[in-house]
Amino acid sequence: MLLSKGFEVEVYTGTPQGEIVGLSDKIVAALNRFMREPDTRNVEYTTAPLCRYDRLLCDLVRPRLLLRDYLKTLGDYTLIPGSSLSLGSTDRFYRSDPNNPYHDYIENTYGTNVVTASVHINIGIDDPELLMRACRLIRLEAPLYLALSAASPFLDGEATGYHSTRWQMFPKVPPEVPLFESHQHFIQWTQDQLAAKTMQNVRHLWSSVRPNGDRRPYNLNRLELRICEFLSDPIALLAITSFLEARIWQVMEDPSLDPLTISKIGDRHRAQELISLTNDNEKAAAQGSLDAELRHWVDGRPILARDWIWQLYQEVWPAAKKRGFSCFLLPLKKILREGNEAQRWLALHDRGFHTRQILQQAIESMHQQELELEDGLCPPWVA
């Protein structure tokens, strides 16, 4: 039996030339599978929680093809890879719902720093205390998932110096989020934040990992990893998801695999020191992704992100093989060997390709791969 998995996928719309164009107000009015974001330039779709990876692949691809068909009715529009406003513009917010007061708050407080595209991975865990333990571990290893998925090296047509411009600029809300020691700790902390107005609502918790459920913070049933960038390659996304699931199986079956228990960092203030270390690791991963030097949460030793990932890959392989999904882990080797999307784009940039050329090539490649996946793997679909 595998854990259930579901995705929240944000994607930009625009022209084949790479210009991002806001169309979400039209999309959500016409297609019931999609939800608006505060800015019209990106739109979100979700997948139902499923256990089987082959079905997840089809559920990731088909909404994109449905969206592409609808975009054709509006003009010469397509989907744009990447997780930042690669060609701009960041000087203006294009509201999707001008009458929404929460959107007012977001625009006025954060501006276009939140106009990004990402993938949130939800893994089902019903036991709230087990969920908290998994959240503690994955929170400290979240920089590794950012390193694998980084896809936002450009902003306003220029290279920014970051592999993940998105995570470098995206607001962390509230600024300080602890390692939750128990479900009750999470409940009390959330209540305190709402009372202090540091969170506007229960969804206004923008950290790399958060507990999720139908009635937060009370009824929880899944871990939500929020740090990943939008991956144009669905197979790469499933590889990262299988890496996450295998790691969660480890922490579920081994109660000692808890940073608050086995970390050698700190003593009385271990939780705070681990959060400080992880914040530094997130910043480093945003800048250098797989080549970033991080500090390991067990003992603080320096380690390259790609080396840490490879070590964990070998550790989680038996858990994935035991449950029959190790084949979906294999594409991680390709990412480690050839680089993530940001690194591949920056390699082209270093060879003299303009940002617009790189985006245009990525747009075409993404569409072609979706068509191949639909033809080769997904059974006939009735919308």
pLDDT tens-place values along the chain, 383 residues long: 899 999 999 999 999 999 999 999 999 999 998 999 999 999 999 999 999 999 999 999 999 999 999 999 999 999 999 999 999 999 999 999 999 999 999 999 999 999 999 999 999 999 999 999 999 999 999 999 999 999 999 999 999 999 999 999 999 999 999 999 999 999 999 999 999 999 999 999 999 999 999 999 999 999 999 999 999 999 999 999 999 999 999 999 999 999 999 999 988 899 999 999 999 999 999 999 999 999 999 999 999 999 999 999 999 999 999 999 999 999 999 999 999 999 999 999 999 999 999 999 999 999 999 999 988 777 665 44
**Neighbouring-strand partners of residue 304:** 293
List CB contacts of 224: < 8 A, sequence separation 6 or more: 120, 121, 122, 209, 210, 211, 212
For 129, the enclosing helix (H) or strand (E) is helix 128-149
Q: What is the pLDDT at residue 266?
A: 83
**Neighbouring-strand partners of residue 35:** 44
Give the separation between CA 369 and CA 60, rounded to whole angstroms: 12
Three-state SS string over 328-372 comes to: HHCHHHHHHHHCCHHHHHHHHHHCCCCHHHHHHHHHHHHHHHHHH
Closest residue by Cα to residue 53 from 293, 320, 346 = 320
In 215-246, which positions are buried (b, 16+ CB within 10 angstroms) versus exposed (e)? ebbeebbbbbbbbbbbbbbbbbbbbbbbbbbb
Give the separation between CA 13 and CA 20, rounded to whole angstroms: 6
Give the separation between CA 34 and CA 48, rounded to whole angstroms: 13
Closest residue by Cα to residue 5 from 52, 44, 41, 40 = 52
Which sign, positive or negative, has the C-alpha torsion 46, 49, 55, 57?
A: positive
For 275, the enclosing helix (H) or strand (E) is helix 270-288
Q: What is the pLDDT at residue 382?
A: 45
Chain position carrying tokens 């106009």: 115
Rg, the chain, Cα only: 20
Q: What are phi and psi of 12, to 5 degrees?
A: -85, 150
Q: Please give the model's pTM, rounded to 2 decimal places.
A: 0.97
- The DSSP symbol for 162 reads -
